[in-house]
Amino acid sequence: MKTRLLQRAFDEIVQGLAERLGEDTNTLLDLSTRDPYARRMAAELNRQLRQLRAQRQRYQNGDRELKEAVTNISHDLRTPLTAIRGYLDLLEQEDLSPAARRYLALIGDRAEAMTRLTEELFRYSVLQSTEGLALEPVDLRAAVEKAAAGFYAALTGRGIRPVIALPDTPVVRQADRAALARVLENILNNALKYSAGDLEIELTKDGELRFTNTAPDLDEVTVGRLFDRFFTVEAARGATGLGLAIARALTEQMGGTIGAAYNGGRLTVWVRLPA
């Protein structure tokens, strides 16, 4: 009888511990048995649960404070950067030597890169603080057509003639329209950075989006890190390293998945959204 009671107590401990570790709850383990050894074990586990809960709370508070700090810093950087760019525009109207104009152009390029980084950092920090998106049925085919049309001039300016393959019928998925547009925009920007002159955009009937281009400057190691925050490669001049990180965060918030593959010198970025 005592053995059976201990077995039941241990089953209660295992089940209760699994529930409390899997849920954000303040409840502790409670046993039906009065066995002192089993209750001593439960008391020690409860002590560990309290410590774990306190550590989790400190982590969540610190993470929230860090996001708020990043948001505030990136927002505060906008004002001086806007002033710098304004003074640079005024200097361009002055009578300057060729060397001074060359230096001015370099300063302008760096100020522009800093502005892009600040904007991406601000968007990313705001995104991480957002609680959910407004999901609704969206036609992926129409979204791809709109995004490709918006980038057509930029792509052709780089000598890239996109080849687009879309189904004859609408492909509807649950998505946030603004978030989906941002995901497609960031992926197309990525193609502008790394493409060697080609781009294939394909939407399957199953709802998988694929963006494929030749990318000789990449390899399997760098492709595996494309979605890491602030990761860039030397070939991507002016890149902030946040574009695909933002695309991944938005895709996951919509319940989808995103990834990249590298095969035979060609990069493929794919996106899947829930039906």
Asked if CATH classification 3.30.565.10 holds for the domain at 136-272, the reply, yes or no, is: yes
Domain ranges of the chain: 1-129, 136-272
pLDDT at 238: 53
- pLDDT tens, residue by residue, 11-41: 888 788 777 777 767 778 877 777 787 888 8
DSSP-assigned letter for residue 237:
T
**In 93-161, which ranges are continuous DSSP H helix?**
98-129, 140-157
Q: What is the mean pLDDT of each run of 10 residues along the chain (275 residues)?
A: 79 80 75 80 84 81 69 72 85 89 89 78 64 84 94 90 93 92 91 89 94 89 83 58 84 92 93 90
Determine the Cα–Cα distance for residues 140 and 171; give it in Å rounded to an integer: 6
pTM of structure: 0.62
What lies within 8 Å, CB to CB, of 208 at 6+ separation is: 270, 271, 272
Determine if residue 61 is left, alpha or beta; phi over 0 gives left, psi from -120 to 50 gives alpha, anything else beta. Answer: alpha
DSSP bridge partners of 263: 266
pLDDT at 88: 87
Determine the Cα–Cα distance for residues 241 and 261; give it in Å rounded to an integer: 18
Phi/psi of residue 262, nearest 5 degrees: -130, 120
CA 220 → CA 12, 215, 267, distances in Å? 48, 11, 9
Phi/psi of residue 238, nearest 5 degrees: 75, 5
pLDDT at 201: 95
